Structure 1
Amino acid sequence: MTLGPDSFPRGFAWGTASSATQSQGATPADNWWEWEQGGKAPLSGSGNDFDTLYASDFRLLSDWGFSDYRMSLDWARLEPQPGHRSRQAVEQYQEILQAGRRSGLNMWVCLLHTSLPAWFAAEGGFLSPQAADLWARHVDYVAEVFGDLVDGWMPVNNPTGYAEKAYLRGTFPPGRSSQDEFLRALHAVHKADFEAALRLRQTGKLTSTNEALISLHPADESEDAMAVTALVDAVIWDSWLRFARTPRYENAFDQYGFSYYFSAAVNASGEFLPYPAGNAAGPQGYVSWAPGLGEVLDRLNSELPGKRLLVSEIGYGGDDDIARAAYLPAALGQVRNAIAAGMDIAGVHFWTGVDNYEWIEGFTVPFGLFDRNRVPRPSAHVIQSIIRG
């Protein structure tokens, strides 16, 4: 697919995204460290060495044509014990944000990307009665200390995905498999996201969601498959849209961002099957299918008419860079078509710039346009040519 120089509007944001644990590695102060030490995930080590290479990474991305960078400020590093802030971590993150801005990047900050402080997790995480107050205290602290260095806020990364992995599938800490706990955590984390946005808007900087969205299709024409698909759809979509439509939160976010990786067929047992059927699935079991991104954009535009959107994550996981170099332009074609249809789309952030730690897959499923040695893959050249028209 060829994208012409006029495909994207002036000021369209081209970014990459990362997280603290994935780029810096876990810290003994967070609950992912214990998860690793217990053999439930590969060791993250120093991540992709971001702590020592961040300045040159920012220059690389800026030189390559990117305008935005999203990172997370690790709550556990900032507050390793309740009420005790690490001056070293604060100064390090201040320097990182300054380095990104010196390189000409707009710095987006996420406050929660999977890992929790061990002390907060021990109290029950977001299921604790004290969670809302502890979270609000942390949000206000981050806003005060880092607000002048941040260009945009993305409070919680993929709330639904987090709740599902932690409380339903049990693949992330605390490793629970309880439908009741999942539904309570889902509500609590979505509420934490919207409450944080209200507080962060007071800094005068942009706020954006990052919902994990999927285009769902019944696996067959049976009534059971269609009914279960509707239930799963309600979890993925309605669980946060009901917040977005309430008077308290309807203006909490300046734009609605989302991550898209795949579409899925849902059978009568609630299992996700690769979609479209017959297409080769990647190493994480799903098909990277670009038209599904168009379906998600159409659905969002219908659910939230007139709202500004952001494709806050798209990426291709695996060693097949030929497939990555084909998939990403096809996905961008869906974005281009949506803009041509009149949708207000602020930009696209790729997952990810530099290969990093991918949670339970460790370092075995690369997503980067650059490898961990900062060598560009052919797909990076493809994306650069699109950015530069």
Structure 2
Amino acid sequence: MLLETRGVRVSLRFPDGFTWGVSTSSYQIEGGNEAADWHAWERAGKVDPAGRACDSWNRFERDVDLVVELGLSAYRISLEWSRIEPEPGRFEEAAIARYADWLAYARSRGLRTMLVLWHFTNPVWLTEKGAWLSPEAPVHFEAFVRKVVPVLAPHVDDWATLNEANTYANHGWITGEWPPGRRLDYPGGFRAYDGLAEGHRRARAAIKELLGEATPVGLTHVLSWAHPAGRWGALSVPCMRFWEWLGITRFLDRVAGDIDWLGVQYYHDAPCRPIGMDLDDGNPPRTDMGWRICPEGIYHAVMFAHRRYGVPLLLTENGLADAEDAQRGRFLLDHLAWLRRALDEGADLRGYYHWSLLDNYEWAYGYEPRFGLVAVDYDTCERAIRPSGRLYAEIASANALPEGLRPDLRYADGTPSLAPR
């Protein structure tokens, strides 16, 4: 099956064995994580409280059943470090056992499991030491990994050490919206990058020591597509290169020799002026959070990662805030069509995980954004699959885009910045 639209020719079908999954994270869905630095941030009045979130700590089996009902093949979750190690060196065996039960249940339902060992939040005691700026942080993280991996390994297919080091460093040390709340502290952000890179290397080495050198270990990183805004053209190139370095290569180049696969995460593009961004460029559709919707960018992000790092790729997050579910179906079709084009051009892309299975706690934005293929009633924590979830189920079941629905493969203006150099 082939589709030709606006001069671009792509296959509708995805490769045999392509993984279709969904992603979540512990703090955003579990509830009750009161030993985390983010909970302390809430108590300080910085953000709305997460409370019980989606109550997934008590409803994980229901969540797995929803993944199965959607006909998907994989589920990505994360561990809450603070729940497992609320004090340095004191591990809650019951919490580790609960995660093991979850993962075992997911495997028993036929799902491939991906486990992320760190997804933004830290134990309060680590943040009090300076979080990832502390030279102790990578050492503590390695000890945590060595504790949990032997117990969870029988139930895990894919290991990811870290989620989005760039997002964490940006919001913690540049915007100040997240703990520790520093603003425009670029040296601090770079030190956080370096601490996380060392934590990844130590964790990966520990996993390979425990499970065998052949065990693939990766991490996930958000890549935005920087390109010229409007008429600026080549004048935007220095700005584009700066944003690529700051958000992508400053971290990933440091760990490039220590990843067996890379999780690419894409949400929006970044139109560049000679200095700064022009987020109004082209007046594209917007999500409920005001984020630009630019499907073409997912192609450039994947091709950049493929050409620069040369490792197997997974698209581990892609989604939008859309409370009315008015745009999510089109968003899925258009982004997946551009992913298919990346596959046609040789990208070693092995799966797609939508963000997110559930509506959840969206950090500094609280509960207003609705990212879920499954709607959550926060009063009752009842779940209901949205129409876009049914569409995604149809795509996954067929391993192809529906023939009767035409994706939009329009090009954005300007020369792509995420290109081999």
TM-score after normalising by structure 1: 0.92
Query: Among 196, 200, 205, which residue is 1:193 paired with?
Result: 200
Q: Which residue of 2 aligns with 1:112?
A: 118
Provide the C-alpha distance between the structure 1 equivalents of 2:317 and 2:32, rounded to a whole number of angstroms: 22
Q: Which residue of 2 aligns with 1:215?
A: 225
> Is this contact kept in 2: 1:13–1:348, CA < 8 A?
yes
Could you tell me which amino acid in structure 2 is paired with residue 291 of structure 1? Answer: E
Query: Among 112, 120, 127, which residue is 1:121 paired with?
Result: 127
Provide the C-alpha distance between the structure 1 equivalents of 2:338 and 2:75, rounded to a whole number of angstroms: 22
- Report the CA distance between 1:6 and its aligned residue: 6.5
> Is this contact kept in 1: 2:2–2:12, CA < 8 A?
no
Provide the C-alpha distance between the structure 1 equivalents of 2:303 and 2:160, rounded to a whole number of angstroms: 22
Provide the C-alpha distance between the structure 1 equivalents of 2:11 and 2:187, rounded to a whole number of angstroms: 50
Deviations, residues 159-206 of structure 1 (Å, cap 9, x unaligned): 111111111111110101111111111222133223322322342543
Provide the C-alpha distance between the structure 2 equivalents of 1:42 and 1:241, rounded to a whole number of angstroms: 32
> Is this contact kept in 2: 1:26–1:33, CA < 8 A?
no
Query: Among 302, 319, 325, which residue is 1:315 paired with?
Result: 319
Residues 1:277 and 2:277 are matched in the alignment? no
Provide the C-alpha distance between the structure 1 equivalents of 2:245 and 2:13, rounded to a whole number of angstroms: 34
- Report the CA distance between 1:103 and its aligned residue: 1.4
> Is this contact kept in 1: 2:284–2:293, CA < 8 A?
no
> Is this contact kept in 2: 1:19–1:72, CA < 8 A?
yes
Query: Among 299, 323, 339, which residue is 1:294 paired with?
Result: 299
Deviations, residues 226-278 of structure 1 (Å, cap 9, x unaligned): 42332121112221332244xxxx2x3221111100001234553x4436521
Q: Which residue of 1 aligns with 2:240?
A: 229
> Is this contact kept in 1: 2:228–2:234, CA < 8 A?
no
- Report the CA distance between 1:338 and its aligned residue: 1.5
Provide the C-alpha distance between the structure 2 equivalents of 1:268 and 1:182, rounded to a whole number of angstroms: 24
Q: Which residue of 1 aligns with 2:78?
A: 72
1:65 to 1:144, Cα distance in 2 relative to 1, 3 A: same
Provide the C-alpha distance between the structure 2 equivalents of 1:157 and 1:134, rounded to a whole number of angstroms: 17
TM-score after normalising by structure 2: 0.85
> Is this contact kept in 2: 1:79–1:117, CA < 8 A?
yes
Provide the C-alpha distance between the structure 2 equivalents of 1:8 and 1:222, rounded to a whole number of angstroms: 34
Provide the C-alpha distance between the structure 1 equivalents of 2:66 and 2:11, rounded to a whole number of angstroms: 23
Q: Which residue of 2 aligns with 1:386?
A: 395
Could you tell me which amino acid in structure 2 is paired with residue 339 of structure 1? Answer: L
Q: Secondary structure at the match of 2:113?
A: strand
Count of aligned pairs:
382
Residues 1:353 and 2:318 are matched in the alignment? no
Q: Secondary structure at the match of 2:219?
A: coil
Deviations, residues 13-69 of structure 1 (Å, cap 9, x unaligned): 111111111011252211011111122111111111212221122122113211111
Q: Which residue of 2 aligns with 1:55?
A: 61
Provide the C-alpha distance between the structure 1 equivalents of 2:108 and 2:161, rounded to a whole number of angstroms: 23
> Is this contact kept in 1: 2:359–2:370, CA < 8 A?
yes
Could you tell me which amino acid in structure 2 is paired with residue 206 of structure 1? Answer: P
Query: Among 262, 270, 274, which residue is 1:264 paired with?
Result: 270
| Structure-to-structure mapping, 1:52-201, within 5 angstroms | 52-177=58-183, 178-201=185-208
Of 55-64 and 277-286, more deviation after overlay is shown by 277-286
Q: Secondary structure at the match of 1:312?
A: strand
Unaligned runs of 5+ in 2: 4-9, 377-381, 399-421
> Is this contact kept in 2: 1:316–1:328, CA < 8 A?
no
Could you tell me which amino acid in structure 1 is paired with residue 101 of structure 2? Answer: E
> Is this contact kept in 1: 2:218–2:263, CA < 8 A?
yes
Q: Which residue of 1 aligns with 2:43?
A: 37
Provide the C-alpha distance between the structure 2 equivalents of 1:265 and 1:9, rounded to a whole number of angstroms: 32
> Is this contact kept in 1: 2:228–2:240, CA < 8 A?
yes
Provide the C-alpha distance between the structure 2 equivalents of 1:41 and 1:323, rounded to a whole number of angstroms: 28
Provide the C-alpha distance between the structure 2 equivalents of 1:350 and 1:335, rounded to a whole number of angstroms: 13
Percentage of matched positions with identical amino acids:
28
> Is this contact kept in 1: 2:232–2:273, CA < 8 A?
no
Provide the C-alpha distance between the structure 2 equivalents of 1:89 and 1:303, rounded to a whole number of angstroms: 39
